[in-house]
């Protein structure tokens, strides 16, 4: 039994030849999803082989709009990725720079929405992170406790631990 009939039996309970057009569409979407997931496994192996932090398949629609995205941190604050269309000549380039703990600048160039020419954009992103489960994180401790020792030069100074004041 070929793979398409096996998938039809798994999802529909009958062979592909007995499927309605809507069932055929369901099978096509399932096959695309399975193909992308399997492709991501291969992409991850490629990423590890070439020292990349990211390699994945991304689709904005059907299988025809699938792109391979590869990315790498060039420094702890600078990240770049490049996407190339697998079935259509679509390329994207993204660069992201971390300005601070919550601020990021991101620039991207690629195909314009609607497929007419190139588009370039820059975004300033602000990130808000919340604690797990919606509760606020515990505040940092203000007392140093007995396990923290003062710097070595503070031993004989007035007001230091050994001065008796």
| Tens digits of residue pLDDT in 118-130 | 889 999 999 998 8
| Residue 50 pLDDT | 81
| Residue 27 pLDDT | 62
Q: Per-residue pLDDT for 74 more than 90?
A: yes
C-alpha 139/C-alpha 142 separation (Å) is 9
C-alpha 44/C-alpha 68 separation (Å) is 11
| Residue 80 pLDDT | 95
Indicate whether this model's pTM tops 0.75.
Answer: no
Q: Per-residue pLDDT for 92 more than 80?
A: yes
Name the residue with tokens 């192996």. Answer: 45
Least confident of 42-46, 126-130, 142-146: 142-146
Can you read off the two tokens belonging to residue 60?
């904005």
Q: Is residue 81 a contact partner of residue 69, using CB atoms and an 8 Å limit?
A: yes
Query: Mean pLDDT for the chain?
Result: 75
Query: Over 98-115, what HEC string results?
Result: ECCCCEEEEEEEEECCCC
C-alpha 32/C-alpha 59 separation (Å) is 10
Q: Is residue 43 a contact partner of residue 55, using CB atoms and an 8 Å limit?
A: yes
């Amino acid at each position: 039994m070929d793979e398409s009939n096996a998938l039809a039996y798994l999802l529909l309970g009958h062979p592909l030849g007995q499927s309605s057009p809507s069932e055929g569409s369901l099978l096509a979407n399932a096959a695309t999803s399975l193909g992308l997931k399997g492709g991501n496994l291969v992409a991850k192996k490629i990423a590890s082989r070439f020292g990349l932090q990211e390699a994945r398949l991304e689709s904005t629609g059907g299988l025809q709009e699938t792109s391979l995205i590869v990315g790498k941190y060039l420094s702890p604050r600078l990240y770049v990725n490049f996407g190339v269309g697998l079935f259509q000549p679509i390329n994207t380039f993204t660069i992201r720079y971390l300005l601070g703990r919550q601020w990021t600048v991101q620039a991207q160039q690629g195909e314009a929405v609607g497929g007419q020419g190139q588009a370039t954009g820059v975004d300033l992103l602000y990130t808000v992170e919340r604690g797990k489960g919606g509760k606020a994180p515990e505040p940092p401790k203000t007392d140093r406790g007995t396990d923290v020792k003062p710097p070595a030069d503070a031993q004989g100074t007035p007001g230091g631990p050994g001065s008796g004041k």
